[in-house]
Amino acid sequence: MNILFFELEGWERPYLEKRLPAGHAVDYYNHKVTGADAQKLAGCDILSTFIFSQVNAEILRLAPALKLVATRSTGYDHIDCAAAKKNGIQVSNVPEYGSNTVAEHTFALLLALSRRVIPAYTRTRAGAFDTSGLRGFDLRGKLLGVVGTGNIGLHVIRMATSFGMRVIAYDPFPRKSLADILNFEYVPFDALISESDVITLHCPATEENQHMVRAESIAKMKRGVVLINTSRGALVNTHDLLVALENKHVAAAGLDVLEGEHYIKEDVQLLKDANRAQLLAAIETHKLLARENVIVTPHNAFNSEEAVQRIVTTTVENINTFIATGKSANPVA
């Protein structure tokens, strides 16, 4: 097999070299895969990327021998799974590597906002020790709305209740027995967004739920609500969130993911590829980054020592199982 890894960090290569079976041609690259990799893709059987590579129909077309895309992530919305299926290409992901890790980051964002950690830090670094303007709010007693009660959402709920928060949740596939054990209540989406003091998103991005947070849904939210998104940027309409932050309907936002974040990483790519709507979205995202009541982290919620180790371990399992049996472990399409 000809196996290509993209978006690798330095430490991953020796780890992979030790664990992949001998007798296969394996190439390791740090950059994300693009059309410029056409030559490399031409003979590729197995392609492994992280989330910043857009594995779209064009990339799949450039890899006529491709049999497996093994993404080193849970989310797979950067892969055109329909095109993969049409071409008989399997797609595997890493379903569980750090649900607690992302949940902990959710609270890192929420606590940074609730206790005004960033302005407090910036000020004290500059030598100012007064507390004016730094008053925060307690989490205890607040109502948290959790959208998506999968692996990450459930860890968030567990952590929230230990802070003394009350929790409601929405999920099209509720797990009612867990609601009793973890002490939360399932409600319809509209009830969740209208009642919650803090809303946190933990569902995958699909065509159906694109912009689930937009002007219409924000209008139903409590004035002063706090929004946390560690899930996917496409769930939130950037323009509508900006307007709501400006008019203070949304008091603050903690965002680990942004619409079009792969463009934000690389301005050159943006100018080359993006259409007018994507350019406008990128400008609005830059406006978000500059706001004082917004904290943005660069899709970093997964990034703990323990979690990244588990990602590579599962990816090796996915690839080795595919090589041995022709079927990947953890298939998503």
Given the complex with ligand NAD, which of 84 and 148 has the nearer CB atom?
Answer: 148
**Is residue 299 annotated as a catalytic residue, yes or no?**
yes
Q: Quote the least distance from Cβ 89 to ligand NAD, whole Å.
A: 21
Q: Which of 105, 202, 232, 262 is catalytic?
A: 232
Given the complex with ligand NAD, which of 87 and 210 has the nearer CB atom?
Answer: 210
Q: Quote the least distance from Cβ 144 to ligand NAD, whole Å.
A: 15
Residues that bind ligand NAD (CB under 6 A): 74-75, 99, 102, 147-153, 170-173, 202-204, 209, 230-232, 256-257, 299, 301-302
Given the complex with ligand NAD, which of 37 and 240 has the nearer CB atom?
Answer: 240
Beginning with the edge strand found earlier in the chain, give each strand of the sheet holding 225-229 in spatial order: 185-186, 166-170, 143-147, 198-201, 225-229, 250-255, 294-296
Q: Quote the least distance from Cβ 207 to ligand NAD, whole Å.
A: 11
Given the complex with ligand NAD, which of 179 and 257 has the nearer CB atom?
Answer: 257
Given the complex with ligand NAD, which of 244 and 257 has the nearer CB atom?
Answer: 257
Q: Quote the least distance from Cβ 51 to ligand NAD, whole Å.
A: 8
Residue number of the CB atom closest to ligand NAD: 150
Q: Which of 239, 261, 262, 284 is catalytic?
A: 261
Q: Quote the least distance from Cβ 231 to ligand NAD, whole Å.
A: 4
**Is residue 261 annotated as a catalytic residue, yes or no?**
yes
**Is residue 125 annotated as a catalytic residue, yes or no?**
no
* 95 half-sphere exposure, CB direction, 13 A CA radius: 11
Q: Could you list the active site residues? A: 232, 261, 299
